[in-house]
Amino acid sequence: MYTQKDIFIVTGATSGIGKGVVLSLLDKGAKVIAIGRDTKKLISLKKEAINKNNLILEEKDLSNCRGLDKWILSITKKYGKLKGLILSAGIQQIIPISSPLSVEKSKELFEINYFSTMQIAKGFCDRRANIGKGSSVIFISSIASIRGNAGIIGYAASKGAINSGVKSLALEVSKLGIRVNAVLPGFVKTEMTSQWKEIYNKQYLEKLNKEYPLGIGKVENVIGPILFLLSDESKWITGNEIIVDGGASL
Handedness of CA 105, 19, 238, 116 (dihedral sign): positive
* Candidate segments 50-58, 88-96, 173-181, 230-238, binder of ligand NAP by CB under 6 A: 88-96
Closest approach, Cβ 28 to ligand NAP, in A, equals 20
Which of 51, 127, 36, 121 lies closest to 86, judged by CA? 121
Closest approach, Cβ 211 to ligand NAP, in A, equals 13
Residue 36 touching ligand NAP (CB under 6 A): yes
Which residues sit opposite 183 in a β-bridge? Answer: 140, 242
Do 82 and 131 form a contact (C-beta atoms < 8 A)?
Answer: yes
Which of 196, 241, 194 lies closest to 16, judged by CA? 194
According to CB under 6 A, which one of 191, 198, 220, 233 is a site residue for ligand NAP? 191
Could you check whether the bond before residue 100 is cis, i.e. omega within 30 degrees of 0? Answer: yes
Residue 105 touching ligand NAP (CB under 6 A): no
Assign residue 132 a region (left: φ > 0; alpha: ψ between -120 and 50; beta: otherwise). Answer: left
d(CA 213, CA 33): 35
According to CB under 6 A, which one of 185, 208, 227, 242 is a site residue for ligand NAP? 185
Which of 193, 194, 183 lies closest to 221, judged by CA? 183
Alpha-carbon 108 to chain mean position: 17
Active-site annotation holder among 155, 200, 204, 212: 155
- 155 catalytically annotated: yes
Q: Which residue lies nearer to ligand NAP by CB, 7 or 216?
A: 216
Q: Which residue lies nearer to ligand NAP by CB, 6 or 245?
A: 245
Q: Which residue lies nearer to ligand NAP by CB, 110 or 187?
A: 187
| Amino acid type, 105 | K
Which of 137, 131, 105, 97 lies closest to 118, judged by CA? 137
According to CB under 6 A, which one of 190, 208, 225, 242 is a site residue for ligand NAP? 190
According to CB under 6 A, which one of 73, 192, 199, 237 is a site residue for ligand NAP? 192
N- to C-terminal Cα separation, the chain: 34
Residue 41 touching ligand NAP (CB under 6 A): yes
Which of 114, 13, 122, 8 lies closest to 71, judged by CA? 122
What does the per-residue mask of binding to ligand NAP show for 121-160, with x meaning CB under 6 A? Answer: -------------------x-x------------------
Q: Which residue lies nearer to ligand NAP by CB, 142 or 181?
A: 142
According to CB under 6 A, which one of 9, 12, 120, 170 is a site residue for ligand NAP? 12
Residue 14 touching ligand NAP (CB under 6 A): yes
* Candidate segments 37-45, 100-108, 206-214, 227-235, binder of ligand NAP by CB under 6 A: 37-45
